[in-house]
Amino acid sequence: MASVGKLGGVVPYTSYSARISYLDSHKETIQKFTRAIQKGLDYVHSHTDEEVADEIIDFFPDTSKEDLIDAIGRYREADSWAETTTFTKESFDHLQDIMIASNELKEKVPFEELMYQVQ
C-alpha cells in the first residue's frame, strides 16, 4: 500500500463554484475566502503538528488528539498541503487526469473555460 497523497502529486481540491454574476458582484467575499484559505495554509506550514491539532481538535470530537497529530503528520510527510491558493493549469490538468482514470470524467475541460480571475 502507498499513500494517495504521495502518489497523487499536487491536486487542487479547494475551489469555488459560482456564477460569474456572483463573482462579479461579490469580489470582496471571494477575496476574503481566498485570504482565509491562504492564512490556513500559512498556519499549517509554520506550526507543529501538535499546534495544528490544538486548533482543529474541536472539529473532530470523535478523534483523540494523538490520532489527529498522527494524521496531520502523515499529511505533512506526504506534502499534501499546498503552499499557495494558486490553481494552475498544470494542477487542474492533473486533477482531470485522475478523474478520467477513475471514470469520473469523460474528457478534459479547457482550463480557461472554468477559471475566473477576481481583479
**Number of helices and strands (H, E) in the chain?**
7, 0
Lookup: cell for 64: 483523540
Query: How sure is the predictor about 79, in pLDDT bands with cuts at 50, 70 and 90?
Result: confident
Identity at 53, one-letter amino acid code = A
pLDDT(73) > 90: yes
pLDDT, residue 1, reads 46
- In this prediction, residue 5 carries a pLDDT of 58
Q: Evaluate if residue 100 carries a pLDDT over 70.
A: yes
Which residue type is seen at 29? T
Largest CA distance in the chain: 47
Composition of the chain by helix, strand, coil, percent to 5: 60, 0, 40
Is-contact 34 14, C-beta < 8 A?
no
Please give the mean pLDDT across all residues of the chain: 87
Encoded amino acid at 21, one letter: S
Number of C-beta neighbours around residue 107 at 10 A = 6
- Give the tens place of pLDDT for each residue, 3-33: 555 566 667 767 778 888 998 899 999 899 9
Domain boundaries, the chain: 24-83, 87-119
Q: What is the pLDDT of residues 49-65, one digit of tens each?
A: 999 999 999 999 999 99
- CA–CA dist 11, 98 (Å, integer): 9
Q: Check pLDDT > 60 for residue 107.
A: yes
